[in-house]
Each structure stands twice: as C-alpha cells, then as structure tokens.
A and B are shown apart, each in its own frame.
Chain A
C-alpha cells in the first residue's frame, strides 16, 4: 500500500490551522453560516442533550487518505496520554452518556485501545470504533475483529465505493482489496448479519468535490452490489460530506475548486439538516484532553466557546449544556443537502 506523507510532514502551508481558516474566511459567500442559521431562528446554535462522547485518541494512521480532515498518517505522533484516557473514561462512566465513539487516526493504533474498549463496553453502553478496515490486515492487529466482536463493539468502517478504482483513488493503492478482505472477516464473525447483534455500518465520502448521494438509495444500491460482487453484508450505509479543511482543502486548492465547492455547499444549505446537526448532541475530546463541539472544529483548533470547560478534566454538564456552539464557514459541510454527520445524513429521505 503506497502511503503518502501528511501535510504536516510536508511542512505544507495548509498544515497550519490558521492558514486553513484564513483561506476559508477569504472566500466570498452569499451569506455566512451564522446568517443562514439565523434565517431559521437557529443561531446561536446550542446543544440539545449529550448523547455521544467522541474520543479522538490520536492522529496516527496506517493510511493517508486524500480527503482526511485530520491530516492523519503514519508520520503523526499525537496520542492521547493515559491520564486523558482515564479522565475520559471516568466522564463516560459517571454521566448518562449513551454512546462512546472512538476515532482517530486509526484509533486501534493507540496503545490503550483495548483498555478503552474493555472499560467502556463493561458499562453496557454503545461503543463505536471508527475503523479504516485495512488496519485489521496488519500483522499486529489481526486480533481486532474477534476482539471487537467479543465486546459487541459497533464497527463504523470506511469504504468510499464498492469498486477498487474509486476507493484506491481516495484511500491509496491496494486499500480496496484489503478492505474487502477485512469486511469478509467481520462477516465471518457475524458482523452485519441480521439478528447477530454485531453491527457493521459503512461510511462513504464522495470521491471528489461533490455532495453525497441520497443515503437510502445508495444503501440499497451498495447492499446489492457488495452482496453480488463479494458476498458481503452490512447493516447501514452512512453518507458523509467531504469537509473543506485539511487534506480535502488541499485537494480543492490543487484542482482550483475551493470556491466552487464552498458555493455548492452554501447553495445546498438545508435548514432541516441544521436543526439536527451532530454538534448539538456530541462532545469531541482531543488527544490532549481539549474539548470541542465536533471533530472538524477540533482539527481547526476551534475549542469550545468562552465560559465552557476547556478540558475533559473540567467536564461540567451544566456549563456544557448552556454553551454556544462555535461555527464557521466549514459548517456548511454539515448542512448541505441531506446534511452530514458522523452518523451519516441528518435528514433521512427514503
């Protein structure tokens, strides 16, 4: 598998979050995100109830996907230290938060990944692993499918398309073949099979500068295609819009498509998607314990609004419930069309 250097390793100008924010801010838009929310009485954006604690345990990954909003890759070294892991697990245990969502990078590369899964799943709540699939084909990580099955972890697996050409173009040469092998292994253990209780959901990001297809229609198509071509079954397909930050912003810049893509997102603004934004029921924890409204804000160094807790060490449900969610032009990525979240489309149209 060919693995490219991250923006950070290249010392690319867009590895700076300030440079990314500056670039987004200089694009002339018909309306700001805040104005668009205001038109639907949605501004300032506030949380509903905390449903998901999302831990970004580190930026190291065995892949360097071209759309990655984390700029993750093998050369990244950021890893959540043990005291932040402990504090995060304590917050999850001591509060009524239904879901722990473990992400990265490839979160399985974290040395305490097994500990996190064991501790969280022992609480009997929903635990999700955002898995790039290929990690399970590496010699030291072949244990993962059986381990995840044993702890009833919901697997959210990335697969941009049901064909190799598109998948490899986004995620690297050979990724599709390894992903299919990984999915077969998950299926062998019962993942994706009706009634098994082992949930295997797929995540697809468009392979390029366009919006995702209708989620329900795409899911029907994918179920037929993956079953017929490879005998693979899965539960749900989540469509996620590419966020115009980090490596996808770099891709847009290379193609001269940044303005056109932002305009497309603004043009497709959907007030219904704005009402269901994931930042309203999610709290994102960075590798160093800093709190964010979402993983995208985390990657732009947009921490919680003044007055809200800064770190997982200062977790305070009352203060968090009354915060204003921090927004910017990138937020149009979550409100375009049917909307986009870590759980796929926000507005479900069959």
Chain B
C-alpha cells in the first residue's frame, strides 16, 4: 500500500510483487539471484558479507536489513560486518578522492 513514504520496511516483503509486471523476467532474476548466493568458490558467508558491503555502497536500506540478517545467519559477527562496511566506505571515499587526479589534470590544462 502506498502511504507516501519513499522507503518503508514492510515493502521488502512485497519485493515479489515485481513479478506481476513481467513474470518471466522475475523468474529469471530469481533463478540467477539464487545461484549467485549458493556456496561456490566463495562461501555463502563471504558472499553475504560482500552483499552487505555493496548494500552500503549502493545505499539500499532493504538490502542492508536483508544482508545484516543474512550475515548473522551465516555466522558473521558485528566486528566482521563492521569491517565489511568500512571496506565499502573506503572504496566510496577512495573513488571520490581518486577523481581528484581528474581535477588535477584539468587544473594543469587551465593553469600556467
């Protein structure tokens, strides 16, 4: 139900409603999504921590809730999860900072 809020925690449970517009694409997404998170060369626990970090990088509150739970259920602890968030934050911070080189390139083009 649309109550005027942009982010609403109960909306996470309504995610499957996205299948209504295009069941075929939704089914393909679900199958792929499920396969991605299966135990593979990386453990399910490592994948949950990566997802948690990425959730912070893309700033998705639904994903943050979901992968906080998933990380705990895969046996990660608060320390490990906090370090994963720092990795995301460091890459985001570093990504901003490394654009400073672009700034410096342009400075050099304009300056004397």
Contact = CB atoms under 8 A, between A and B. Distances in A.
| Binding site secondary structure of chain B | helix
B73 A210 contact: yes
A163 interface: yes
Interface stretch (A211-219, A247-255, A314-322): A211-219
Contact of B77 (A161, A211, A263, A264): A161
B69 A210 contact: yes
B34 to A, nearest CB: 14
Contacts of A217: 43, 45, 74-75
A218 B77 contact: no
A218 B78 CA distance: 15
Nearest to B79: A163
B72 interface: yes
B72 A214 contact: no
B77 A212 contact: no
Interface residues of A, number: 17
Contacts of A212: 73
A226 B78 CA distance: 18
B44 interface: yes
A213 B74 CA distance: 5
A66 to B, nearest CB: 16
Given A217-B43, A217-B45, A208 B75 contact: no
Size class of the contact patch on chain B: 10 to 19
Nearest to B68: A210
A281 to B, nearest CB: 27
Contacts of A165: 78
A214 B77 contact: no
Nearest to A264: B69
Interface centre among A161, A208, A213, A337 (most CB of B within 10 A): A213
B76 to A, nearest CB: 8
Nearest to B74: A213
A146 interface: no
Interface in A191-248: 206, 208, 210-214, 217-218, 221
The 6 closest A-B pairs by CB, nearest first: A213-B75, A210-B72, A211-B73, A218-B75, A210-B73, A210-B69
